[in-house]
Structure 1
Amino acid sequence: MTSRVAAIDCGTNSIRLLVADLPDPAAGPQAPLTDLSRRMEIVRLGQGVDRTGRLAPEAIERTRVALASFAADIDRLGAGRVRMCATSASRDAQNAAEFREMVQRTLGVAPEVVTGDEEARLSFTGAVRGLPADARPPYLVVDIGGGSTEFVVGTREGGVEAAISMDIGCVRMTERHLHGDPPGPDEVAAAQADIAAAVDRALEAVPGRSAATLVGLAGSVTTVVAIAQGLTAYEPERIHHARVSYDRVAEVTADLLAKSREQRLAIPVMHPGRADVIGAGALVLRVIMERSGLGTVVASEHDILDGIAWSLA
């Protein structure tokens, strides 16, 4: 027997939907989800939150439009259970109640404003199911979002050993530091110093330097990996579980930070909504690899969205 569920991950930069059939429990712990719909819209819910402390009205409206479309998909596919998790932007905002009311009206369920710890654990669950056998534990799973980055250390068998969330997401770092087009050397240096300080605190807390395998999640990572592979179109099946070296990540990061937004938009695998924040996201990944000493990152297309779906089992 399978169970049809819908998971929504509402982050600082994007909102995503997964409608999937969960496997029969008798199929074993590594049986996969069966995707029916997997969608992503860039809504930039966290626009200006770092500066104002509030969700912008136009950002809430963009999110409402995307949610209305998701609700239609959920109804059409007949998902029996729905869970929406809202992450960093709605944790930080002073007007979070306005956002929650909009979601309840549009989707019919209230969003869960998960803690950074819960966000990290959901990401870990989604990422480690189905990792290839040669990915040695313990794993350091990093989920580079718009407002924050989650760091989780654990194993498939033992689960999460430690987790922490740091406020170094790609939108937050862009708005805080990277103002030029392209950003100047001083701006990049300031962003790098900010990121490095947070990464060092995170790696001590989890502790990340004891991990054997780095697993990278979310759009910043998968876009960098797609560029590193030289893909001419975004191909999830080629990105999922691809391995990229530190040297290649560093090359891609330097190139992205040297380009203007218009030049980044011309990259074949670039989502238009990610072009202005991808430099910061790549920089976060590069600094994590530097400070952890892990010379290779394994990209995963499965992340917190899949973890939310599995939580409905």
Structure 2
Amino acid sequence: MEDSPDTAIPHDDDLEPFGRPLFKDPSVRHLRRVGVVDVGSNSVRLVVFDGAARSPAYFYNEKIMCALGAGLSETGRLNPEGRQRALAAIRRFQILAQGMEATPLTAVATAAVRDAEDGPDFVAEVERTTGLRVRVVSGEEEARLSAQGVLLGWPGSYGLVCDIGGSSMELAAIKGGDVGLRMTSPLGPLKLKEIKGGRKGRRAFIKDQVAAMAGEMGAQRDRLFLVGGSWRAIARIDMDRQGYPLHVLHEYRMTAKAVRATVDYIRQEDSNALRARCGISSARMDLVPLASEVLAEVVRVFRPRDIAVSSYGIREGMLYQQMPQQLRDRDPLIEACRFAESKDARLPGFGKTLYKFILPLFKSAKPDRLRIIKAACLLHDVTWRAHPDYRAEVCFDNATRANLGGLKHVERIFLGLALLHRYRNKREGTSFEELYDYLPEADRQQAEVVGKAMRFGAMLWPEEDAIPGEFRWFPKKKVLELRLSEAAWPLLGEVALARLKSLASSLGAEVDLKMQR
């Protein structure tokens, strides 16, 4: 049952920093366009969100490297050049947002602006020249928002969120969907540049700071979630070191051993060559070696079970803050797929029917696999506008690289392979073959069955909410039974029958056709 409207709207205290409700009804599927400006110590970014309410897409995303926090430890003031660059960027973002109908923008500023003696003057200048009000958040608030951003992508997660910016690093514990203890520290790479004593002095400073945080945070043996541009750059370098072919940073996993190897790799490799190979800006690459020293110490001290990179952070956390609990509880992957189906499929709503139709083929599948199969059914028809010769590859490319939350990399590949087989019997001969090996053979085979089942089921769609037949699967007998109503027999044309036989072949089964009476 849905909440009544008065319980769906957040209280006034929960509307900050937007100052207005973004989710007026927990049943909402669509998020009206929302623009956020994040004024960080190293960069200023505009993100405009749109799309599925529970899993918003990046309608627009632009970053300007400003280094507002450079030299702050020595002067106590914002970097003058960075300040001018930041003002110019915000002016540009205001104009862009107006054109995209994403106003009023919401702006937040973090460590550099809150620590600088001229931070209030900068905020006043931004409002005076652009009309944009900037909310300066505390370190603990920054940690909370970043942790909420992680929860947007991983509902109910347990672990430690580590968010690194230019001038600070925040930690926040998350457990069962709630944000717990949180801390801030001066471990941003711009601050580390100004530590006296060279590498030895810097390492001692990092060690002391991390030890102090560990003393406050306590034992953390769950997952470590990495938030921030410097962490993402390190993850991209880890991909380069290992020759990893799927360059999607969100949900990329690393081990403590991999982190240590990549820190050494960064130290040994030519930085210019590494930057060019990995597509990292020179301004970011200057900070990566310093950030890698921090990461190595965090991993050494906290000893996480595993490490996951999050593309979601403070900006997404602001959205999550306003979500009604009913919306938070939904699966971000399924919500994104439902939205895509409603927007792009020829028969919106048929994905649910198709899922019910093919479900008997997967009686022994675990819930985690069933949600991916359900996602595939919802997405099975969203690329129908692509040229028939390219639909299969477009499907695979979209699934593996799209802005979808709640997906491990291997799940992306499974989803992509299932959708590829929705349009193509054979998976050989594509440009994606190097990715197939990341799935066990049994999973590749199951993805093929999912795709071929959808390929056949899509031919029996005269109505949105009913397929005039049902599957029965007898794995021990290797018999695939299809029962069709008498009225539906004309749908079993030559092409449909060929697709049914192809599905049975992938199952190693015989087909048994029966008429429902």
TM-score, structure 2 as length reference: 0.53
Cα deviation, residue 145, structure 1:
0.9
For 1:176, the equivalent position in structure 2 comes to 195
What letter corresponds to residue 161 of structure 1 in structure 2?
G
Q: In the aligned structure 1, how far is the partner of 2:244 from the partner of 2:63?
A: 13
Picking from 74, 82, 85, the partner of 2:105 is 82
Are 1:193 and 2:204 an aligned pair?
yes
For 1:32, the equivalent position in structure 2 comes to 55
Deviations 1:96-128 (A, max 9, x none): 122112221344222111011110010001112
Three-state SS of the structure 2 residue aligned to 1:164 is strand
Deviations 1:51-94 (A, max 9, x none): 11011321110111111221122111112442211111111111
For 2:213, the equivalent position in structure 1 comes to 202
Considering fraction of residues, name the structure with more strand.
1
Cα deviation, residue 312, structure 1:
5.6
Deviations 1:230-266 (A, max 9, x none): 1899999611101011222122222323456545544
Are 1:221 and 2:231 an aligned pair?
yes
Q: In the aligned structure 1, how far is the partner of 2:89 from the partner of 2:99?
A: 16
Three-state SS of the structure 1 residue aligned to 2:45 is strand
For 1:116, the equivalent position in structure 2 comes to 139
1:268-307 residue pairs with structure 2 within 5 A? 268-294=278-304, 296-307=306-317
Does the aligned pair in 2 maintain the 1:13–1:145 contact within 8 Å?
A: yes
Q: In the aligned structure 2, how far is the partner of 1:187 from the partner of 1:258?
A: 18
For 1:27, the equivalent position in structure 2 comes to none
Sort the Cα spacing of 1:39 and 1:312 in 2 relative to 1 into closer, same or farther, 3 A: farther
What letter corresponds to residue 239 of structure 1 in structure 2?
L
For 1:183, the equivalent position in structure 2 comes to none
Three-state SS of the structure 1 residue aligned to 2:117 is coil
Q: In the aligned structure 2, how far is the partner of 1:265 from the partner of 1:217?
A: 20
What letter corresponds to residue 282 of structure 1 in structure 2?
S
1:208-247 residue pairs with structure 2 within 5 A? 209-230=219-240, 238-247=248-257
Which consecutive residues of structure 1, in runs of 5 or more, have no partner in the other structure? 25-30, 178-185
Moved more, 74-83 or 242-251: 74-83
For 1:4, the equivalent position in structure 2 comes to 33
Sort the Cα spacing of 1:260 and 1:203 in 2 relative to 1 into closer, same or farther, 3 A: same
Deviations 1:253-287 (A, max 9, x none): 22323456545544433222112111111111111
What letter corresponds to residue 254 of structure 2 in structure 1?
V
What letter corresponds to residue 255 of structure 1 in structure 2?
Y
1:110-149 residue pairs with structure 2 within 5 A? 110-131=133-154, 137-149=157-169
Q: In the aligned structure 2, how far is the partner of 1:220 from the partner of 1:87?
A: 16
Sort the Cα spacing of 1:229 and 1:244 in 2 relative to 1 into closer, same or farther, 3 A: same
Cα deviation, residue 47, structure 1:
1.5
TM-score, structure 1 as length reference: 0.85
Does the aligned pair in 1 maintain the 2:41–2:110 contact within 8 Å?
A: yes
Does the aligned pair in 1 maintain the 2:222–2:305 contact within 8 Å?
A: no
For 1:64, the equivalent position in structure 2 comes to 87
Sort the Cα spacing of 1:232 and 1:153 in 2 relative to 1 into closer, same or farther, 3 A: closer
What letter corresponds to residue 147 of structure 1 in structure 2?
S
Moved more, 249-258 or 70-79: 249-258
Q: CA RMSD in A?
A: 2.6
For 1:104, the equivalent position in structure 2 comes to 127
Does the aligned pair in 2 maintain the 1:170–1:280 contact within 8 Å?
A: yes
Which consecutive residues of structure 2, in runs of 5 or more, have no partner in the other structure? 1-27, 324-517
Q: In the aligned structure 2, how far is the partner of 1:312 from the partner of 1:87?
A: 20
Are 1:249 and 2:255 an aligned pair?
no
For 1:162, the equivalent position in structure 2 comes to 181
Picking from 32, 38, 46, the partner of 1:17 is 46
Q: In the aligned structure 1, how far is the partner of 2:107 from the partner of 2:163?
A: 18
Three-state SS of the structure 1 residue aligned to 2:195 is helix
Q: In the aligned structure 2, how far is the partner of 1:9 from the partner of 1:235?
A: 30
Moved more, 35-44 or 103-112: 103-112
What letter corresponds to residue 49 of structure 2 in structure 1?
A
Give % identity.
26
Three-state SS of the structure 1 residue aligned to 2:114 is helix
Q: In the aligned structure 2, how far is the partner of 1:37 from the partner of 1:235?
A: 25
Q: In the aligned structure 2, how far is the partner of 1:236 from the partner of 1:142?
A: 23
Does the aligned pair in 1 maintain the 2:162–2:225 contact within 8 Å?
A: yes
For 2:118, the equivalent position in structure 1 comes to 95
